């Protein structure tokens, strides 16, 4: 198939945008003829929008086109944005969820203002569909976006292969466009994209100079077991899981956590920075109502369900299959409820995301052999309700003649349990990770455990190239009673390019966040590198300068 230039930039537009942009526009048009072998550039055009301060060349392309073992068509589709305001930086944008669509290549990350997106920091940014099309299996109903998991190469592309294939193509196009070598390469991603960034540090240690990782699902298949664990725990309370834990129940639970833990960091401010100490002192059993006349308490079966959820999935021998979860105030957030208890999506019968995305991914992508669960809401929920943690959970480690790699190996790395990142460190790579303490999808404790193992394997030298920041009250992305406005990208740039090691990072509460309390308005707080936390010292409690980073005794 011949490549075609499908967009024409009018002369008037070039005049309005200026001569330098006109020159870039010519380069943008000719880029269609400079695609590497077996890569088709479908469109190139000059663009500008409200989130990008510089005009840019927008490139859309496709590569690795093939027919899968399931007789479905697969390809890696991608978007590359090349700003006029280029500072020699390349950003690979790892996308979240199950992939399957090309998200705008802006380098947007949780915590950033649009002016702080990577593309506005002089990055050329690439984004892809991860090697499959989420709309390719409409006959599979709600499970459609996960059915690509029936093809081994599509699983591998989703796990890490698409990055391995697309990265050199994107680099080639960037350097051809600017006629200049890339100075610094970065990977940016959150949720599943955060997993991919951490995987890249191990599988492709010299691919990126800096990695920005947000609330990562590093042990993705193991984390997916939690979906079945949650639904079974909630179903014990009520057959209709949306009624198992009401919004009031979760607010009562969050308030009791605050009552016991708020002042552990030296001040009462509706946020729990001394999170590690809180896990030791908080006693959920104290919430159980002792009589029918008690207030601000919960029935025994609801407390038991919450304790079971926070315990994490176990088999019948009481062996942990994932990890436990932190007790934190963001449990009262809409985000936490949407993932675990009830969504606002009528097409899902208001079932939570765990029932739809969670069940579909666990059945079709993360177990071998896959279970071809029907794509209706009742079949998906029933799959989770009948999930056997003795017989079904081991399938995340299984292989067969078709799937030579287990889902765990494909989605993580062969050395996932004992990370060392020796080559990434030797290459000079730097990594910043941030994670909300109230994340309902991927436990912050799993990320802490990964970091602890890394630090142990390196005999205490992990802080030399990896920093982890925890955000109290923040769920899966912005929201919850948290200070969720922060810039993690600039500290990473300074670390990579100017050898300035990051220390604390200032976060602020957002005026537009309806879940902050009245006294949290206008508040700033230092986010301290793990294992330290922000403790009140003296001064105005609204100001980050009134706190210092300390390590719990």
Active site residues: 191, 439, 476
The answer to whether the beta carbons of residues 440 and 336 sit under 8 Å apart is yes
Going by C-alpha positions, the residue among 244, 190, 223 that lies closest to residue 352 is 244
Query: How does DSSP classify residue 147?
Result: G
Contacts of 398-401 with C-beta under 8 Å, sequence gap 24+, read 398/367, 398/368, 398/369, 399/368, 400/368, 400/369
3-state secondary structure 414-479: CCCCCCCCHHHHHCCCEEEEEEECCCCCCCHHHHHHHHHHHHHHCCCCHHHCEEEEEECCCCCCCC
Angle, helices 162-178/192-203, rounded to nearest 10 degrees: 80
462-473 in b/e form (b: 16+ CB < 10 A) is beebbbbbbbbb
* Residues 287/297, Cβ–Cβ less than 8 Å: yes
Please check whether residue 24 is in contact with residue 57, taking contact to mean a CB–CB distance below 8 angstroms: yes
- To 10 degrees, what angle do helices 220-235 and 377-385 make? 90
- Whether a cis peptide bond, with omega within 30° of 0, leads into 531 is yes
Q: Which two tokens stand for residue 475?
A: 């769920």
Structure token digits, residue 278 = 């809180």
Helix axes of 300-311 and 220-235: crossing angle, nearest 10 degrees: 170
Return the bridge partners of 73, or none: 67
Nearest to 504 by CA among 540, 549, 456: 549
CA distance between the termini of the chain: 66
Three-state SS sequence of 89-134: EEEEEECCCCCCCCCCCCCCCCCCCHHHCHHHHCEEEEEECCCCCC
> Cα 403–126–415 angle (5° rounding)?
40
Whether the CB-CB separation of 42 and 32 falls below 8 Å is answered with no
Rounded-to-integer distance, Cα 322 and Cα 332, Å: 23
* Peptide linkage before 369 cis (omega within 30 of 0): yes
């Amino acid at each position: 198939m011949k490549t075609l230039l499908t967009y024409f930039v009018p002369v008037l537009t070039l005049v309005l945008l200026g001569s330098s942009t006109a020159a870039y526009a010519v380069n943008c048009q000719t880029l269609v003829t400079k695609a590497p072998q077996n890569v088709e550039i479908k469109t190139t055009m000059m663009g500008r929008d409200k989130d990008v301060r510089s005009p840019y060349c927008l490139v859309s392309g496709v590569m690795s086109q093939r027919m899968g073992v399931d007789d479905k068509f697969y390809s890696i589709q991608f978007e590359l944005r090349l700003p006029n305001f280029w500072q020699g930086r390349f950003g690979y944008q790892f996308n979240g969820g199950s992939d399957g669509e090309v998200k705008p290549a802006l380098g947007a990350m949780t915590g950033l203002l649009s002016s702080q997106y990577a593309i506005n920091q002089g990055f050329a940014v690439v984004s892809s569909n991860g090697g499959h099309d989420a709309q390719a299996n409409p006959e599979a109903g709600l499970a459609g976006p996960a059915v690509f998991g029936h093809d081994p190469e599509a699983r591998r592309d989703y796990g890490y292969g698409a990055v391995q294939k697309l990265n050199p193509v994107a680099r080639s196009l960037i350097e051809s466009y600017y006629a200049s070598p890339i100075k610094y390469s970065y990977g940016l991603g959150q949720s599943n994209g955060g997993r991919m960034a951490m995987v890249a540090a191990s599988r492709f240690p010299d691919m990126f100079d800096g990695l920005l990782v947000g609330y990562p699902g590093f042990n993705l298949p193991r984390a997916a077991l939690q979906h079945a664990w949650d639904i079974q725990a909630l179903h014990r309370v009520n057959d209709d899981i949306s009624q198992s834990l009401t919004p009031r129940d979760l607010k009562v639970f969050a308030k009791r956590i605050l009552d016991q833990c708020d002042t552990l960091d030296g001040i009462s401010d509706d946020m729990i920075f001394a999170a590690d100490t809180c896990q030791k002192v908080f006693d959920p059993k104290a919430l159980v109502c002792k009589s029918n006349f008690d207030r601000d308490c919960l029935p025994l079966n609801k407390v038991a369900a919450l304790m079971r959820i926070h315990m994490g999935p176990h088999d019948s021998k009481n062996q942990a299959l994932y990890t436990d979860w932190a007790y934190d105030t963001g449990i009262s957030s809409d985000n936490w409820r949407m993932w675990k208890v009830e969504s606002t999506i009528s097409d899902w019968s208001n079932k939570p995301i765990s029932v739809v995305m969670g069940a579909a991914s666990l059945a079709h992508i993360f177990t071998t052999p896959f279970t071809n669960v029907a794509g209706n809401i009742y079949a998906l929920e029933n799959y989770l309700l009948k999930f056997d943690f003795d017989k079904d959970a081991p399938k995340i480690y299984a292989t067969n003649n078709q799937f030579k790699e287990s889902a765990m190996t494909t989605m993580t790395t062969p050395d996932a349990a004992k990370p060392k990142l020796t080559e990434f460190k030797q290459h000079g790579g730097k990594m910043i990770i941030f994670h909300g303490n109230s994340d309902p999808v991927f436990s912050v404790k799993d990320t802490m455990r990964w970091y602890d193992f890394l630090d142990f394997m390196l005999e205490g030298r992990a802080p030399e190239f990896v920093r982890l920041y925890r955000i109290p009250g923040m769920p899966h992305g912005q929201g919850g009673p948290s200070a969720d406005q922060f810039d993690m990208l600039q500290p990473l740039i300074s670390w990579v390019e100017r050898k300035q090691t990051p220390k604390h990072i200032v976060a602020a509460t957002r005026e537009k966040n309806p879940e902050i309390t009245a006294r949290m308005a206008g508040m700033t707080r230092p986010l301290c590198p793990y294992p330290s936390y922000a403790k009140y010292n003296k001064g105005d409690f609204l100001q980050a300068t009134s706190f210092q980073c300390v390590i719990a005794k």
